[in-house]
Amino acid sequence: MGIQRIESVIYSVDDLDTCARFFTDLGLAPRERGPEHAVFATLIGQTLHLRTGAATEGLPPSVEPGNNTIREVVWGAETEEDLAGFVAAVGADREVTRDDDGVFHSVDETGFGVGLTVAGPSGYEPAGQRAANTTGHVSRWNEALHSVGEVRPLRMCHVALNIPKAGREEAVAFYVDRLGFIPTDIVKPMGVFMRVPGDADQHNFLLCHRPDKASVNHVSFEVPGFDDVIEGGNAMIEKGWQEARRLGRHTVGSNVFRFVHSPAGGRVELAADMDRVDDTYGPNVHETAPPHHIWTLRTSRDA
Ligand SMILES: [Fe+2]
């Protein structure tokens, strides 16, 4: 029960053509295109929206300078009853509006738009996994690996937003107390990782403290495996996009990652093999930030 997944992410952008090309190159499926908006979908049917000009009317104000940022994240509840409860909880002290599609809209403590709806159907049929070999556990015989081909993100698995350090407890409490998010790892100097009850990813949402500003940090796209992370990142670089961080594996969440700067604001992450957790997990409280360096790819060849 409760929130099942990210349903939509809505960006406002200056350059619609460039941003539409970016998300096309990332492997999302184009759904709609107009002079001032574009819509893309993941394989499980979540939507990513780009809006410019008059199409941004009605969105909450940007939380950071400029237009290229996330203006709203829409969360999908399991049932109409759940949805009604969330709308009531959010509406206790702020305006909530309902649009013609039945999606409710409000803002969180930082000013990021929060949308609420009933989660759409996934319709995704998982393909077989690439077999792996190690001595004692051999599952691939007489078969060489080949390119994964065009990388298509399965889903938006998490969103990370930067929030000002002052007021961070209230910012987290909005999602925990009103929308039922579950804190999984609390990294005191850095931020709070949360998941939603309908998803087992170690996190679906991260509120990352920054000294004094709010901004978009990244949206993460799950791909099937490590090879997809490598090939997907390579494909973006070949198309002219800029890598933001060297390939690695996170110590919180354990996902392998590549990051690419997004013209729509912040970065996007290609992610695979994140920890899956249930209600027995956490919340783990980390007094200091867990080390980043364990799986950061080092090389002595750059010098
Ligand atoms: Fe991430």
DSSP letters spanning 71-121: EEEEEEESSHHHHHHHHHHHTTSS--EE-TTS-EEEE-SSS-EEEEEEPPP
**Which residue stretches of 167-225 are H helix?**
168-173, 179
Is the omega angle on the peptide bond into residue 153 within 30 degrees of 0, that is, cis?
Answer: no
CA of 88 to the centre of ligand 1 (A): 30
What span, in angstroms and rounded, lies between the C-alpha atoms of 69 and 266?
Answer: 7
Query: What pLDDT does residue 104 have?
Result: 98
- Distance from Cα 185 to the centre of ligand 1, integer Å: 13
201 and 155 Cβ atoms separated by less than 8 Å: no
Q: What is the 193 CA–ligand 1 centroid distance (Å)?
A: 10
First-to-last alpha carbon distance for the chain, in angstroms, is: 53
Region for residue 93 given its phi and psi (left: phi exceeds 0; alpha: psi -120 to 50; beta: otherwise): alpha
Q: Whose CA is closest to 227, among 261, 258, 253?
A: 258
Along the 303 residues of the chain, how does pLDDT read in single tens digits? 899 999 999 999 999 999 999 999 999 999 999 999 999 999 999 999 999 999 999 999 999 999 999 999 999 999 999 999 999 999 999 999 999 999 999 999 999 999 999 999 998 998 888 899 999 999 999 999 999 999 999 999 999 999 999 999 999 999 999 999 999 999 999 999 999 999 999 999 999 998 889 999 999 999 999 999 999 999 999 999 999 999 999 999 999 999 999 999 999 999 999 999 999 999 999 999 988 778 888 888 876
Ligand 1 centroid – CA 159 distance (Å): 7
How many whole angstroms from 99 Cα to the centroid of ligand 1? 30
Q: What is the pLDDT of residue 129?
A: 84
pLDDT of 41 reads: 98
Q: Which residue has the tokens 């999908």?
A: 76
Q: Distance from the CA of 135 to the center of ligand 1, in angstroms?
A: 32
What structural domains does the chain harbor? 3-118 (3.10.180.10), 155-286 (3.10.180.10)
d(CA 34, CA 97): 25
User: How many A from CA of 118 to the centre of ligand 1?
Assistant: 24
